[in-house]
A = this chain, B = another copy of it.
């Protein structure tokens, strides 16, 4: 894999580097046809490929932006990423991905590596565990947008959903369906949306004068969820409706239900927070809190582009509303 450079092409075509460069960049206003042909021929024969590394060094931009996702399996991440790709495709900017897997060390490594590789900007689903790093990005005015999670004390463009309102809708719906014992289960409250969801749940109940049962509000590790649920439902004193705080929680709820022969939609109403792919076709069809992921991705992309192109350096918090999609899993009163 010997490397062919522009200089090789120039020599082969009996022409100077500058002209080859102009050719490659489509500036042939004044270029003779014969010259073009010679260059084209030389490129083909030598198998020349341009080196963007060298170009980027000179131009001081890479036309590349990075997305650092916490969890690529998450439907919301993939939908948002798709939107971001679509947006930047039009601007001739390429998008590359890295996964932090919620690991702060990986996150740090990727952010620093992307920066060192001079990507023009970054969209981050922050783990929240690298405050100094985020502060640095902020103070150095590096083009960056946070999505899905708002971080305290970090003044960076951020795109999130209205988690509290989402909970308000879900709680309102379940109460209207006649449920009196509502529960919520989430992973540990380490990140913003989870805290907001729990807070929103409490708020929604209190606002309606409904009692808040601490025993029915649990935020635990995925691995403990099944046993926590078993405890919650022990001796027939469990809730009649449950809100699963995200998609992974939903899987655990299903495991629990299966194991304990609880029929979702019959013995237990279920609402899931997240765009579950199979929601409409699962048995029973699932009631979900749907996030406008594509729109959010577009917004994040636009905010990033504004920063990159220097059009704006204002920062803000952009909150999107969710939609409660009511299906079978929450419309049969438990009993």
Contact = CB atoms under 8 A, between A and B. Distances in A.
15 contacts: A1-B140, A52-B117, A52-B118, A53-B62, A53-B118, A54-B57, A62-B117, A72-B72, A73-B78, A94-B113, A95-B98, A251-B277, A251-B278, A251-B281, A283-B283
Interface in A99-121: 99, 109-110, 112-113, 115-118
A234 B115 CA distance: 59
A294 to B, nearest CB: 14
A255 interface: yes
Nearest to A97: B97
A11 interface: no
Interface of A: 1, 3, 47, 49-54, 56-57, 60, 62, 64, 66, 72-73, 78, 81-82, 85, 94-99, 109-110, 112-113, 115-118, 136, 140-143, 251, 254-255, 258, 277-278, 281-283
Nearest to A67: B97
A286 B133 CA distance: 44
Nearest to A60: B3
Contacts of A52: 113, 116-118
Contact of A283 (B1, B51, B258): B258
A113 B60 CA distance: 17
A115 B149 CA distance: 34
A236 to B, nearest CB: 22
Contacts of A57: 51, 53-54, 57
A81 B161 CA distance: 29
A52 to B, nearest CB: 4
A110 B99 CA distance: 19
The 6 closest A-B pairs by CB, nearest first: A97-B97, A52-B116, A96-B96, A254-B281, A52-B117, A53-B118
Contacts of A98: 94-97
A113 B1 CA distance: 17
B78 A72 contact: yes
A143 B1 CA distance: 9
A66 B109 CA distance: 17
A4 to B, nearest CB: 10
A91 B78 CA distance: 28
Most buried by B among A50, A54, A62, A96: A96
A42 to B, nearest CB: 17
Nearest to A313: B1
